[in-house]
Amino acid sequence: MKHIYIIGVGLIGGSFARDMREQFPKATLVGIDTNAGHIEQALALGLIDSQGDLDQLTTADLVALAVPVDTAVSLLPTVLDKVGENTIVIDMGSTKAAICAGVATHPNRRNFLACHPIAGTEFSGPSAALTGLYKGKTQIVCEVEKTAFKLQERALALFKNMGMRLRYMDPESHDKHIAYMSHLSHISAFMLGKTVIEKEKNERDIFDMAGSGFASTVRLAKSNPVTWTSIFAQNKENILETLDEYIDNLQHFKSLMAQDNFEDVYKEMENTNHIKSILNGLEQ
């Protein structure tokens, strides 16, 4: 592995760059980003060695696409136009169906592996990049059979060396399940934050009464709106379904409370308590 290109040097791409630096100390890491400030920061932080452009991709061994998912859909065909025979391109987007559909008939489809690393923080930009962000995390790989065997092997070995757990899934199932497991959490946190901010104009008071429980539940409301707007747009239908179910559940809970049916309020919580065992070991 000599030439590694990172397109999008924010939290996700920058953290990936840090892992590549560790795994391939002799490789050259080249950054591509439309945000000149991010390139500057990524160079200063040593995430990348130089700035590059798409026309150089023909010599790339590995290209990691870590951009908002709308940009991924529009940019990926161009990236595949420019890669060499032996280049593996991975994306790292939180949606998979539109990205896979956009290159389904591309002549270089075999050079692409569709991925979603389930990792991140609520922060963004190159300065948020962390070494080891992906260690112990799940890498969801879609349509693995459409990637050239030699190239998929290279990418999967790299993920394993990063300490990731591999899971294979079709893009539609990925988008459906991830709407529940990730996208809904973001909306629930953003709307919780909105509800509280609207009510509590005096921020000093909010701060004083906020405990670690509120901080944890609202944490994702700090997330980058650019990243998330494009995810919500691409996974719209699945997310609308999760929102319907979530709102129904909230309304049911509200009506139990309004009817003073606290026996069933108790049951609602007790039945959900077994999320404990589901999430064992996942806490950070």
Site for a second copy in 58-87 (CB under 8 A): none
Pick the piece of the chain touching a second copy (CB under 8 A) from 8-16, 29-37, 152-160, 241-249: 241-249
Give yes or no for a contact between 60 and 5, defined as CB atoms under 8 angstroms apart.
yes
CB nearer to a second copy: give 86 or 138: 138
Task: List the structure tokens of 214.
Answer: 């509120």
Instruction: Examine residue 168 and tell whether it contacts a second copy (CB under 8 A).
Output: no
Pick the piece of the chain touching a second copy (CB under 8 A) from 29-37, 39-47, 150-158, 221-229: 221-229
Site for a second copy in 43-62 (CB under 8 A): none
CB nearer to a second copy: give 67 or 89: 67
Q: Which of 32, 19, 31, 24 is nearest to 2 (CA)?
A: 24
Of these, 140, 158, 162, 164, which contacts a second copy (CB under 8 A)? 140
What backbone torsions phi and psi does residue 282 show, to the nearest 5 degrees?
-95, -20
Tally of CB atoms within 10 A around 19? 22
Compute CA 95 distance to the chain's CA centroid, rounded to the nearest angstrom: 8
Instruction: Examine residue 250 and tell whether it contacts a second copy (CB under 8 A).
Output: yes
CB nearer to a second copy: give 2 or 177: 177
Sign of torsion, CA 51 54 55 57?
Answer: positive
Give yes or no for a contact between 239 and 232, defined as CB atoms under 8 angstroms apart.
yes
Pick the piece of the chain touching a second copy (CB under 8 A) from 18-26, 36-44, 106-114, 115-123: 115-123
Number of residues that bind a second copy (CB under 8 A): 92
CB nearer to a second copy: give 87 or 94: 94
Dist. CA 261–CA 256, nearest whole Å:
5
Instruction: Examine residue 276 and tell whether it contacts a second copy (CB under 8 A).
Output: yes
Give yes or no for a contact between 106 and 86, defined as CB atoms under 8 angstroms apart.
no
CB nearer to a second copy: give 149 or 262: 262
Pick the piece of the chain touching a second copy (CB under 8 A) from 24-32, 105-113, 154-162, 187-195: 187-195
Compute CA 205 distance to the chain's CA centroid, rounded to the nearest angstrom: 33
